[in-house]
Amino acid sequence: MSTTTTTTNLPHHPKPAENNSSTTRRTRPTSQISQKTILEILNTKATTTSLQHLKQAHAVVLKSGHFQDHYVAGTLVKCYANPHFGDLDFALKVFDHVTKPNVFVWNVVLKSCLEHNQPWRVICLYYKMVEASDSNANKFTYPGLFKACAVAEAEEEGVQVHGHVVKRGLSGDLHIKSSAIQMYAKFGRVMEARRILDDGLGSDTICWNAMIDGYLKCEDIDSAQELFSSMIERNVGSYNAMISGFAKFGRFEEARKLFDEMSIDRDEITWSAIIDGYIKGGFYKEALEIFNQMQREQIKPKKFVLSSVLSACANVGALDQGKWIHAYVKRNSIFVDAVLGTALVDMYAKCGRLDMAWEVFENMKVKEVFSWNAMIGGLAIHGRAEDAIDLFLKMQLEEISMRPDGVTFLCILNACAHSGMVERGLRLLSYMKTRFGIEPEIEHYGSAVDLLGRAGLLAEAKELIDSMPMEPNAAVLGALLGACRKHGNVELGERVGEILLEMEPENSGRYTLLSNIYAKGGRWDGVANVRKLMKERGIKTNPGSSMIDLGGVVHEFKVGDGLDSHPQVEEIYLELEKIIERLKMEGYSPNSSQVLLDIEEEEEKETALKYHSEKLAIAFGFINTEPGTTIRIVKNLRVCEDCHSATKLISQVFNRDIIVRDRVRYHYFRNGKCSCNDFW
Contact 628, 656 (CB under 8 A): yes
Please determine, for residue 12, whether its predicted confidence score (pLDDT) is greater than 60: no
Query: Looking at residues 16-30, what average pLDDT do you find?
Result: 44
Rounded CA-CA distance 433/425 in Å is 14
Predicted confidence (pLDDT) per residue in 356-397, tens digit? 999 999 999 989 999 999 999 999 999 899 999 999 999 888
Residue 471 lies in a domain: no
Query: Looking at residues 175-191, what average pLDDT do you find?
Result: 87
Work out the mean pLDDT of the chain and round it to a whole number.
86
Rounded CA-CA distance 111/125 in Å is 11
Query: For residue 565, what pLDDT band results from cuts at 50, 70 and 90?
Result: low
Query: Looking at residues 54-59, what average pLDDT do you find?
Result: 83
Higher pLDDT, 363 or 206: 363
Cβ atoms within 10 Å of 415's Cβ, excluding its own? 31
Residue 531 lies in a domain: no
DSSP bridge partners of 135: none
Residue 421 lies in a domain: no
Amino acid identity for residue 657 in this structure:
D
- Look up the domain containing 654 and give its range: 546-674
Residue 167 lies in a domain: no
User: Closest Cα partner for 69 from 44, 92, 38?
Assistant: 38
In this structure, of 18-22, 556-560, 647-651, the range with the lowest mean pLDDT score is 18-22
Residue 71 lies in a domain: no
Cβ atoms within 10 Å of 362's Cβ, excluding its own? 10
Q: Structural domain tally of the chain?
A: 1
The pLDDT assigned to 6 comes to 40
Residue 639 lies in a domain: yes
Task: Say whether 63 sits in a helix, a strand or coil.
Answer: helix
Query: For residue 231, what pLDDT band results from cuts at 50, 70 and 90?
Result: confident
The string of DSSP codes covering 476-531 is HHHHHHHHHHHHT-HHHHHHHHHHHHHH-TT-HHHHHHHHHHHHHTT-HHHHHHHH
Query: For residue 112, what pLDDT band results from cuts at 50, 70 and 90?
Result: very high
Query: pLDDT over 70 for what percent of the chain?
Result: 90
Is the C-alpha dihedral spanning 508, 511, 512, 514 positive or negative?
A: positive
Query: For residue 603, what pLDDT band results from cuts at 50, 70 and 90?
Result: very low
In this structure, of 59-68, 87-96, 218-227, 419-428, the range with the lowest mean pLDDT score is 59-68
The pLDDT assigned to 4 comes to 39
Query: For residue 7, what pLDDT band results from cuts at 50, 70 and 90?
Result: very low
Query: pLDDT over 90 for what percent of the chain?
Result: 50
User: Closest Cα partner for 412 from 389, 390, 430?
Assistant: 389
Predicted confidence (pLDDT) per residue in 260-271, tens digit? 999 888 988 999
Query: Looking at residues 534-539, what average pLDDT do you find?
Result: 90
Query: Looking at residues 526-552, what average pLDDT do you find?
Result: 87
Higher pLDDT, 391 or 5: 391
Please determine, for residue 570, whether its predicted confidence score (pLDDT) is greater than 80: yes
Predicted confidence (pLDDT) per residue in 622-650, tens digit? 999 999 899 999 998 888 888 899 999 99
The pLDDT assigned to 655 comes to 93
Residue 620 lies in a domain: yes
Measuring CA to CA, how many Å separate 329 from each of 307, 309, 344, 453, 464? 11, 13, 10, 43, 47
User: Closest Cα partner for 314 from 639, 621, 634, 553?
Assistant: 634
Residue 510 lies in a domain: no
Contact 438, 470 (CB under 8 A): no
Please determine, for residue 21, whether its predicted confidence score (pLDDT) is greater than 50: no
Query: For residue 560, what pLDDT band results from cuts at 50, 70 and 90?
Result: low
Predicted confidence (pLDDT) per residue in 476-526, tens digit? 999 999 999 989 899 999 999 999 999 999 998 899 899 989 988 889 899
Query: Looking at residues 119-136, what average pLDDT do you find?
Result: 85
Q: Please state the length of the chain.
A: 680
